[in-house]
Amino acid sequence: MSSAQSSMQLSNVSDPLRVHVPPNETPEERKRRIAAEKKAKKISEAIDKQLKAERDEMEKTRGTKLLLLGSSESGKTTVLKQLKIIHGKGLENEREQYRHIVHLNVLTAIKALAKGFEVNNLTLENSENDEHLAAILSLSSIKESLNRQSLSLQAAVGGLKSADDATAILLANYESVKAVWSDSAVQKYFESANDIGLQDSAKYFLDNVDRLAQENYLPTDEDILQARIRTLGVTEHKFDINSTTYKIYDVGGHRSQRQYWAPYFDDVNAIIFMAAVSAFDQPLEEDLRINRMRDSLDLFNTICNHPLFKNTSIILFLNKIDILKKKLNRLQLKTYFKEYQGANDFQSVTKFFRREFLSRNKVVDKNVYVHFTHATDTTQMRVIVASVNDMIQRENLKASGLI
């Protein structure tokens, strides 16, 4: 076949992208054809614009759905508080409510310390504080369950006759709380008391008890960020970030709460998974035989490789790095993770945990974005939230085929 014949054959192949030009077209016909093409193009562009507007409106109405998952005590609720500060209406409407929660956190912390002191038959440095220790131990209004690390809003209100009782009890026992906490023997015991269910913010609240016990006390943003409340069930939160509506579902991380996660697994844009890297020396509240970090690793393995999340990106927040840094000054990671043989410094330990989590991902081409976080630090979280938003927008554009 000659090249001329080949060219002729190729020219006869139907090409939907080519405009058919009639043979021997007159100038008048050409003018009408061009006008018709311009009109058709204008109509097509208008339709495309309308469809895009409808898709954008639908997406805006539907929102970007995020799941906030992780073990209990990992800091999920703190991240939501930060989002309220950074992209919401702030915490102003919650201050009065948190006054009672903060006071109950103080009482829970000092009662746990006093109980541990008693169980271990320890002696106070200053014998004059014995009566103050007895006063703390006699606070029967604080339920035994509240001596543990977990504290729920329901317990805060229902555990006492009223939420106001927590404030009344703290004000009535302020001197005893201060005396017991300031005793050097209690301070020493606190440094090694990792098995009595102390919340991570115990020191913060006990160090600030003078301010917290003022008659006119109202919690600061920092106080609210430090306050511990257990998430029970599933809560939905909406935030508008750079014209995108985010629907964030926070589900309780306690083992008994994980059975409620499944219904929220469908149609998820991304998952924020949180793990407290500072918990390497702590047992689970629900099962003292299980290490908290190992539980987080197992849970991440389940979530990361779940069939419904095959194409879902995961943002991994390895949280509480501030507490981790302090712990590494007095504890050896390899005592709790025998497989770890690296240096006991922050850089090496965080690399180890990052590698451990990422190694659980068995899904090829799955994106896992890692951030080391200090969730109570608003400045740091502001930067991380902006980064997460950019990442999610890029992922959404990829899923739409626009990039």
Q: Residues at the annotated binding site for Mg(2+)?
A: 77, 231
Cβ(200)–Cβ(285) below 8 Å: no
pLDDT at residue 225, rounded to an integer: 94
pLDDT at residue 31, rounded to an integer: 83
How far apart, in whole angstroms, are the C-alpha atoms of residue 38 and residue 15?
Answer: 19
How far apart, in whole angstroms, are the C-alpha atoms of residue 117 and residue 205?
Answer: 19
Largest CA distance in the chain: 113
The interaxial angle of helices 378-399 and 76-87, nearest 10 deg, is 90
How far apart, in whole angstroms, are the C-alpha atoms of residue 257 and residue 77?
Answer: 15
How far apart, in whole angstroms, are the C-alpha atoms of residue 5 and residue 9?
Answer: 6
pLDDT at residue 395, rounded to an integer: 78
Give the side-chain half-sphere CA count within 13 A for 331.
21
Please give the structure tokens belonging to residue 222. Answer: 């920092």
Cβ(101)–Cβ(156) below 8 Å: yes
Along the chain (403 residues), what's the average pLDDT of each consecutive run of 10 residues? 42 44 74 81 81 60 79 89 91 89 91 90 93 89 42 42 71 94 93 76 95 94 90 79 84 66 76 94 85 94 89 93 94 95 96 97 92 94 91 74 55
Please give the structure tokens belonging to residue 280. Answer: 């390497």
Q: Residues at the annotated binding site?
A: 73-78, 200-201, 225-231, 319-322, 375
- Helix intervals (H) in 159-286: 163-172, 174-182, 184-192, 202-207, 209-212, 221-226
- CA dihedral sign, ordered 362, 366, 372, 377: negative
Instruction: State how far the alpha carbon of 285 is from the alpha carbons of 72, 150, 295, in Å.
Output: 9, 8, 11
pLDDT at residue 30, rounded to an integer: 80
pLDDT at residue 144, rounded to an integer: 42
pLDDT at residue 62, rounded to an integer: 55
Cβ(139)–Cβ(111) below 8 Å: yes
Q: Residues at the annotated binding site for GTP?
A: 73-78, 200-201, 225-231, 319-322, 375
Cβ(366)–Cβ(360) below 8 Å: no
pTM: 0.75
Cβ(171)–Cβ(120) below 8 Å: no
Domains and CATH numbers, the chain: 63-91+232-399 (3.40.50.300), 92-226 (1.10.400.10)
86, 83, 81, 120: which is closest to 97 by C-alpha? Answer: 81
